[in-house]
Amino acid sequence: MRPTVWPDRTARRRRRARAAAEEALRETYRALRANDHAFQTAQDWFVIEQLIFEHAALECRCRALLRELRGR
């Protein structure tokens, strides 16, 4: 027989995991905004290319986090 405390621990873990995912999403959005600003001010083609790849990676991260948050 399981103790009745376990469901509370599970719910608490889920809330903490969701809060962590939300914070990661906020940080990723901040990074995307910083990337957009850097892209607008960039002059060097090499820097622009790197920012494009970084932007794509950040968008993928956002999609993954949103998928994770919607699945819960």
- For residues 2 and 14, the model is more confident at 14
Confidence of residue 54 (pLDDT cuts 50, 70, 90): very high
CA distance 31 to 43: 20
Q: Is the dihedral of CA 10, 13, 19, 21 positive or negative?
A: negative
What percent of the chain has pLDDT above 70? 89
Tokens coding 50: 């790197």
Rg, C-alpha atoms of the chain: 18
Residue 72 pLDDT = 59
Residue 1 pLDDT = 57
Residue 9 pLDDT = 84
Who's near 14: CB < 8 A, 6+ residues apart? 72
Residue 42 pLDDT = 95
Q: Is residue 55 a contact partner of residue 39, using CB atoms and an 8 Å limit? A: yes
Confidence of residue 8 (pLDDT cuts 50, 70, 90): confident
